[in-house]
Amino acid sequence: MDLPRGFRYSGVAAGIKASAKKDIALIVADEAATVAGVYTQNIVRAASIDWNVAVTPSSQFRAIVVNSGNANACTGDEGVANNRQMAETTAAALAVMPEQVAVLSTGVIGVQLPIEKVERGIGTAAEHLSNSEASFTAASEAITTTDKSPKTVQASVSIGGQTVTIAALAKGAGMIGPRMATMLGVVMIDGEVTTEVAQKILDVATAASFNRISVEGHMSTNDAVLLLASGKSGVVISNEADVDQLTNAVTDVCIQLAKMIPADGEGATHLVQIDVQGTESNEEADQIARTVAASALVKTAVTGNDPNWGRIVSAVGYAGVDLDAHKINLKLNGFELFAAGQPVAFDAAEVSKSIGDNFETLIELSVGGGSGKAKHWTSDLTVEYVRFNSEYTT
């Protein structure tokens, strides 16, 4: 599938990572592009977040520079200066203004950036920019940390008989907790939109995707997702119907990316989808889904292929939503385990086998007659997750 027109990419190794893997990426718009962003809600946040909040949204955007292996978070005045240096070095290499550059960082918190390596890496990355599939792949590799593999999605949508192409990349496997953005991500389109429309599209897409995933519920200091629109397809998206169509397409791409993150959760053996319906509002359904997803007991039950429905039902009960316990219904991988507040006879071995035989586990909850509904995706909790994160900086 073609990449969106008007963008170039690169990914190189600058020596930030001890593994010598790629750790600097550039995503560059050939001409002024529209950008919108969503960012972590953690009040302890990286220097890159403050910088990006100041420079987005914008209709004069040109580039994103990403470093992996170092979060540049909780690094004080030196970290702020290093972040600005990344933007200025990128701007100089591309002959643009620093304010036209966003900075994304990911990795270990509290360690100063090796700024000389970063600067050299930016220079090398600028020399290797290309609109090829290989360069797009290199950029997706360069933003990863503990990911098993890069995360990318490409798609297209027909609007008014013309094609708008979408490409997106993301990273994330641990320190994943919802409420923006749980990871780093960049979505590129070659349609033309205003900054207001771009922000609306990204807000809607994020709410349905990246804000509905978790691994361990730990909100990062560096979370960011950016939407870039080059306008190079010549398709102007302005009327409500076209905006809705593009929003749906971008949302679908973001949901695909979002599900890849808990599926790649550190040590994960299952991707868990939680569907909740029957609440008075979508917000209440979301609150229940998040509560079930955050339960270590639910997550470990999935790890052990244990259809321990009591853990799920009790999590619904402490979610803080006013509901009638006699109206709770639960299905696990399509098997009914609990109905109208009562346990249902089922073959535990059969349900256990259905969990063990499938990477994806589906938890379906109906809690009343309301129209509220929500989805959430999470990973299970394994011994490998505990081992990996107990040794992360040692």
Q: Are strands 271-279 and 372-379 parallel, antiparallel or unpaired?
A: antiparallel
Residue 52's closest CA among 303, 231, 257, 221? 221
Average pLDDT score over residue span 273-299:
96
What was the pLDDT predicted at 114? Answer: 97
What was the pLDDT predicted at 147? Answer: 81
**Dist. CA 233–CA 227, nearest whole Å:** 16
Res. 392 pLDDT band, cuts 50 70 90: low
Res. 140 pLDDT band, cuts 50 70 90: very high
Whether residue 17 is predicted with pLDDT greater than 60 in this model: the reply is yes
**Dist. CA 11–CA 27, nearest whole Å:** 9
3-state secondary structure of 281: coil
pLDDT digits (tens, 9 = 90+) for 103-139: 999 988 999 999 999 999 999 999 999 999 999 999 9
What DSSP state is assigned to residue 130? Answer: B
Whether residue 217 is predicted with pLDDT greater than 80 in this model: the reply is no
Res. 244 pLDDT band, cuts 50 70 90: very high
**Dist. CA 270–CA 302, nearest whole Å:** 7
What was the pLDDT predicted at 179? Answer: 62
Res. 180 pLDDT band, cuts 50 70 90: low
Res. 146 pLDDT band, cuts 50 70 90: confident
Res. 299 pLDDT band, cuts 50 70 90: very high
What was the pLDDT predicted at 393? Answer: 66
Average pLDDT score over residue span 229-250:
97
Exposed/middle/buried for 359, CB within 10 Å: 0-12, 13-18, 19+? exposed
Average pLDDT score over residue span 212-222:
79
Q: Which stretch of DSSP H or E encloses residue 142?
A: helix 133-142
Determine contact, residues 9/25, Cβ cutoff 8 Å: yes
Residue 168's closest CA among 344, 370, 3, 342? 3
What was the pLDDT predicted at 42? Answer: 85
What was the pLDDT predicted at 1? Answer: 72
Res. 261 pLDDT band, cuts 50 70 90: confident
Res. 176 pLDDT band, cuts 50 70 90: low
Average pLDDT score over residue span 271-298:
96
What was the pLDDT predicted at 175? Answer: 61
What was the pLDDT predicted at 386? Answer: 83
Residue 356's closest CA among 288, 307, 309, 314? 307
For the question of whether the overall pTM of this predicted structure is more than 0.75, the answer is yes
pLDDT digits (tens, 9 = 90+) for 309-337: 999 999 999 999 999 999 999 999 999 99
- Ordered by where they begin, the domains of the chain are 7-263 (3.60.70.12), 271-390 (3.10.20.340)
Q: Which stretch of DSSP H or E encloses residue 126?
A: helix 115-127
Whether residue 155 is predicted with pLDDT greater than 80 in this model: the reply is yes
pLDDT digits (tens, 9 = 90+) for 48-102: 999 999 999 999 999 999 999 999 999 999 999 999 999 999 999 999 999 999 9
Active site residues: 182
